[in-house]
Amino acid sequence: MKSSSLFSPYALGSFVLRNRIVLPPMTRNRADDRFVPTPRMAVYYKQRAEAGLMVSEGAAISPSGVAYPRVPGLWTDEQVEGWKPVTEAVHASGGVFFAQLWHVGRVSHSLTQPGGAQPVSASAVPVVDELIMTRDGRIPFETPRELTTDEVRRVVDDYAVAARNAIAAGFDGIELHGANGYLVDQFLNDNVNRRTDRYGGGVSERLRFLIEVIEALCAEVGAERVGVRLSPSGTWMQCADSDKLKLYGEVVRSLDKVGLSYLHLVEPTIAGSMTVEAAPDSIPSSHFRSIYSGTLIVSGDHTLESATQALADGRTDLVGFGRPFISNPDLPLRLATGAPLAESDRATYYTDGDEGYIDYPTLEELDVPKAQ
C-alpha cells in the first residue's frame, strides 16, 4: 500500500499531534460507585497514548446527567482528583487528551437519578421498546420530565463548571457530546423536541441549546480547547429529525463560525457502539467537509485503507478508531507495520475489572514470553 498520511503529525491549534489517529470516546464503566476514576483507568489510557489525540469516555457533567453505573463524572472535587493520575499518565507518554462532556437526558432511569427523580429531557418523550441498564438489570425506559426554561440555563451552567473541572483535572480540552441520542441530540431533533419556548420550534430554536452550551464552554476554557461531536445520520436512542440535511447543515454552519478546536462526526454506519446499515437518508460525512472549514474528525468502521483514502481525498483531517483500539492498545504501531489486529470482546466492554480492559497485549508483549 502507498504511504499513508495517517502517521504524519498534525497541528491541532497549539497542540502538535504525533499522528492523525484518534482514540474516540468510549464508555467502559471502570470508575467507582461515586463516579470517581479508578487507577486502572490511568493504565488503560496510558496504554493507548500513542494515538495523536485521545478523547475520554463520556464524563457526566452532573448527577442528573448519568445513564449507567460506574461512569466517571466531572462535577465533584473527588472526581477531579481521581482524573489527575489519569491525565498525568497520558501526558507522561506525550499524549493529547480531551474530556468528553456528557449529559444523557432521557437516556436514564429514576433508579439512577439522584433522589429517585424522573430523568429530564427537552420534552416528555420517552425512548420506547428499548431497555436501559440499571442497578436492577435491564428494564424499560420511563417518560422523562421536560426541563423548564430556567432549568435549561442551569444545565448550560453545569456544562461550564464541568469544563472548568476538566481543565483543573489536567485535560487539554473538552469535547461536547452532541451525538448518539443524548441530551444535546434530544434538543436538536424534532421527534423529541416538542418545546414551545425559545429552545423549541424551528431549527434555530432547537439549535439554541447547543449554541448556548458552546458559548458557555468557550467562555470558560477558550474555543481552541473545545471540540464537538455530532452524529448527523445516527438514529441511536431514537433521535431523528424530519429534515436532517437542513438541521445538521445549520448546526455545522453555526459551529463553523466559532473557531472550535474540531468537529467530530460519527459515520452513518454507526449506531452507538455498533455497526449497522446506513439509513437511506443518511448524510455522508464528506457533505460536511464542504461546509466546515476547521479540523474535522470522522469515526466509525475505519480501517487503515479507508482512513488513508479519506485523508488523501481531503474528506477529513483526523480519523477515529474505536473498537480496534479496545483490543489493540498499540494500534498506531500495528497499523503502521501491517501487524494483525486482535478482535475486541463485546462481553467485557462495560463490565468492571481488568479483564477485557487493560489485559489486551501489545505486539511487544506477544513476542516476549512472560516469565514463568
Ligand X SMILES: Cc1cc2nc3c(=O)[nH]c(=O)nc-3n(C[C@H](O)[C@H](O)[C@H](O)COP(=O)(O)O)c2cc1C
Q: Which residues form the catalytic set?
A: 182
Q: Which is nearer to ligand X, 59 or 167 (CB)?
A: 59
For residue 71, the minimal CB distance to ligand X (Å) is 8
- Which three-class secondary structure state does DSSP give residue 191? coil
The residue at minimum Cβ distance from ligand X is 322
- Tell me how far apart the alpha carbons of residues 362 and 330 are, in angstroms, rounded to a whole number: 6
Which distant-in-sequence residues (6+ apart) come within 8 Å of 339 by Cβ?
Answer: 333, 363
State which amino acid sits at residue 348: T
Q: Are 253 and 288 in contact (CB under 8 A)?
A: no
- Tell me how far apart the alpha carbons of residues 294 and 330 are, in angstroms, rounded to a whole number: 28
Produce one character per residue of 187-207: b if its CB has 16 or more CB atoms within 10 Å, e if not.
bbbbebbebeeebbeebebbb
Query: 99 has which bridge partners?
Result: 174
- Which three-class secondary structure state does DSSP give residue 57? strand
- Integer-rounded Cα Rg, in Å, for the chain is 19
Q: Which is nearer to ligand X, 200 or 265 (CB)?
A: 265
Within the chain, residue ranges assigned H as helices are: 39-47, 77-92, 149-168, 183-188, 203-206, 208-221, 244-256, 285-289, 304-312, 323-327, 331-337, 363-367
Query: 102 has which bridge partners?
Result: 60
C-alpha cell at 20: 492523525
Give the closest residue to 179 by CA, choosing from 294, 67, 266.
266
Q: Which is nearer to ligand X, 96 or 195 (CB)?
A: 96
For residue 304, the minimal CB distance to ligand X (Å) is 12
Give the closest residue to 72 by CA, choosing from 37, 47, 103.
37
Q: Which is nearer to ligand X, 52 or 322 (CB)?
A: 322
For residue 187, the minimal CB distance to ligand X (Å) is 16
For residue 28, the minimal CB distance to ligand X (Å) is 6
Q: Which is nearer to ligand X, 195 or 225 (CB)?
A: 225
For residue 340, the minimal CB distance to ligand X (Å) is 17
Residues that bind ligand X (CB under 6 A): 24-27, 57-58, 100, 177, 179-180, 229, 266, 270, 273, 299-302, 320-323, 349
Distances (CA, A) of 85 to 69, 98, 161, 256, 355: 21, 15, 20, 34, 21
For residue 231, the minimal CB distance to ligand X (Å) is 8
For residue 349, the minimal CB distance to ligand X (Å) is 4
Give the closest residue to 265 by CA, choosing from 248, 246, 277.
248
Q: Which is nearer to ligand X, 179 or 240 (CB)?
A: 179
Q: Which is nearer to ligand X, 111 or 276 (CB)?
A: 276
